[in-house]
Every structure is written in C-alpha cells, then in structure tokens.
Structure 1
Amino acid sequence: MSLKHSYTLIAPFYDAAIARATHAARARSLSALPKEAGKVLLAGVGTGLDLPHLPPQHHYVGLDFNQAMLRRALPRASHVDFAPVQGDAQCLPFADASFDCAVLHLILAVVPQPAHCFAEIERVLKPGGLVLVFDKFLRRGQPAILRRLINPLVSRVATRLDVVFEDLLSETSSLVLEHDQSALVGGWFRMIRLRKL
C-alpha cells in the first residue's frame, strides 16, 4: 500500500488520533512565526491542525500530497489567507527563495526521503528565512531497538521511526540551528527552529 493510499484511508480518523496529543506543541512551535507579514509554506499541512494557531497577517500556502487531507484542512483556514496546493514535499512546485518561513510539522518522518524534503525547504526559503520543525526523531547513536525493528512495516503505511535530525541538518549548507527543545514522549518529539543564512 502506498503512503498516498494509506493517508486517504487514514484522513477521516487522523484528527481523532493525534489532534489532542499535539495541540499544545503545535501552538508553541507556531508562536515563533514572525510578527511582520510574510509568505509561509506549511509543508505537509494534512488536515490543517496547525491552521487554528496561525496569526492572520501572513499569506499561507498549505501543501499536501493527499487531496482528502487538503479537503479537510480548508474549513480550518477561514481566518487566514490560505492557498491549498496538492504536491510532493520532496519535489516542491515553487521557485527558489519563494518563502519567508516554512513550517514542517510531522512531515519529515512521513516522507520516504526526508533529506530530499529538507533540501527542498532550504531551496525555496529566502535568505534569513525561518524553519519551524515539530516531529519525532532519533538521536545519533540512540539504540531504539523496537522502533528500528518495526520501522520497515510502519513506514510503508504511516510514518518513519528512524529519522535522525542531525543527519538531515548535516546535509544542508545554509540552515543553522537556533533552538531545539524536547516536546513529547520523553524527547522523542522535538520542536526545532532554524534560520537560513
């Protein structure tokens, strides 16, 4: 089963499964968005669980590869300038330096090639731009035997359990870490803020 197909099946239940657990962490992460108006990419916007937390001054582009998820996001966007786009976060349909900010909430551990997604975010972000990440990551050298054992199965239908953020960051040339904070599940989930040089 492809991720696109599995997320079409998951879409009606997605919010019930993760909305409450991630609500506070999403709000904290998004509170770092700039006060001045800009263009913000929500990569992997899903059903729009971030949308209620967004300040109104920005223009938002919500990208997701799944039409069923995007349809569920639209009602949550009534208070902001929001454009839904169906597309692949690993091959973004946007020009270089198109965005002032990018939000990557629960997407880097979902896409099959997170390094491609991260490189694309780096490409479409303007110099000085902000990246907000909220996701689950292993740390370098962390055994996490159970997560690694079940990853081949789980990654086919929902999410990867073996992504190491530091490995992704080491492949970029212009993204600099500004903030890294544990968020949920004993530090498995992290809130990360980066800036493009």
Structure 2
Amino acid sequence: MSLKHSYTLISPFYDLVLAAASRSQRADSLAELPQAPARVLLSGVGTGLDLPLLPLQHHYTGIDLTPAMLRRARRRAGDLDFQWIQGDSQRLPFADRSFDHAVLHLILAVLPDPVACLRETARVLAAGGSVLIFDKFLQPGQWAPVRRLVNPMVRHVATRLDVVFEEVLAQVPGLVVASDQPALAGGWFRRIRLQRV
C-alpha cells in the first residue's frame, strides 16, 4: 500500500490521534519563526494542524502528497496567506532558494527517503534560513528492538520507527543544528532547528 493511499484512508482519523497530543510541541516549534515577514514552506502540511498556530505576517506554501489531507488543511487556513500544492516532499516542485524558512513537522519519519526530503528542503531554502523539525527519531546507536521489529509492518502504512536524525543530517550538506530539544515520549520525539549556511 502506498503512503498516498494509506494517508487517504487515515485522514479522517489523523486529527483525533495527533491534534491534542502534539499541539503544544508544534506551537513551541513554530514560535521559532522570525517576526519579519518571510516565505515559509510547510512540507508535508497534512491536515493543517500547524495552520491555526502560525503568525499571520508570513506567506505560507503547504505541500502534501495526499489530496484528502490537503482538503482538510485548506479549511484550517483561515486568514493566513496560504497556498497549497499537491506534491512530493522528496522532489519539491520549487526553484532553488524559493523559501526563507521551512517547517517539517512529522514528515521526515514518514517518508521512505528522509534524506531526499531534507536535501530538497536545503535546496529550496535561502542562505540564513531555518528548518523547524518536530518528529520521532532513534538516538544514534539506540537498539530499540520493539520499534525495529514493528517498523517493517508500519512503515508502508503510516510511519517509520527506525530513522536516526543524525544519519540523515550527515548526508545533507549546508544545514547545521542550531538547537535540539527532547519533546514527547521521553525524548523519542524531538524539536530541532537547523540553519542553512
């Protein structure tokens, strides 16, 4: 089953599972956006759970693979300057340096190729821009036998449980860690801010 198909099936239930559990962490991550108006990419915008938490002064572009998710996101946009595009975060349909900042909330550990997603994000990001990440990652060298055992079953339906962020970042030049904080589930989920150099 493809992610596009599975997330079409999941979309009606997605918010029930994630909205309350992730709201405060999303808000804390999004508070890192600058005050000055900017072009902000929301990669893997999903059902738009971030949209009500965003400041109004920026121009936002949300991309997601699944039309069912995008339909829900559009309804949450409110007064935001928000453009939505159906597309793949692993192959962004944007020119180099199109955005000042990017938000990757719960997307890197979902995609089959998180390196491609982060590499594409770096490509479309202007120098000095930031990448705000909220997601679940294994720690380097962490065994996590249950997560690794379950991963082959769930990775094609909903999410990956085996992504080590440091291994992903090591393959993407031009991005450096500005902050890295534990979030939920004893640090399994992390809030990370990267800077484009």
Residue equivalent to 1:188 = 188
TM-score by length of 2: 0.99
Residue equivalent to 1:28 = 28
1:121 and 2:110 aligned: no
SS of the residue aligned with 1:89? Answer: coil
Residue equivalent to 1:160 = 160
1:77 and 2:77 aligned: yes
* Residue type at the aligned position of 2:87: G
Give the drift of 1:19. Answer: 0.5
Give the drift of 1:173. Answer: 1.3
Q: What stretches of structure 1 move > 6 A for 4+ residues in a row? A: none
Give the drift of 1:172. Answer: 1.6
5+ long unaligned stretches in structure 1: none
Residue equivalent to 2:133 = 133
Distance 1:48 1:172 in 2: 27
Q: What's the CA shift string for 1:130-184, capped at 9, x where partnerless?
A: 1000000001100100000110110010000000000111112110100000000
Distance 1:138 1:63 in 2: 26
CA RMSD of aligned residues (A): 0.5
* Residue type at the aligned position of 1:101: H
Q: What's the CA shift string for 1:95-118, capped at 9, x where partnerless?
A: 000000000000000010000001
Give the drift of 1:32. Answer: 0.4
Distance 2:131 2:77 in 1: 21
Distance 1:129 1:77 in 2: 23
Give the drift of 1:25. Answer: 0.2
SS of the residue aligned with 1:20? Answer: helix
SS of the residue aligned with 2:183? Answer: strand
Distance 1:149 1:79 in 2: 44
SS of the residue aligned with 1:29? Answer: helix
Q: What's the CA shift string for 1:49-97, capped at 9, x where partnerless?
A: 0001100000000000000000001111012100000000000000000
Distance 1:131 1:33 in 2: 9
Give the drift of 1:128. Answer: 0.4
Q: What's the CA shift string for 1:26-69, capped at 9, x where partnerless?
A: 00000000100010000000000000110000000000000000
Residue equivalent to 2:106 = 106
Q: Percent identity?
A: 62
* Residue type at the aligned position of 1:28: D
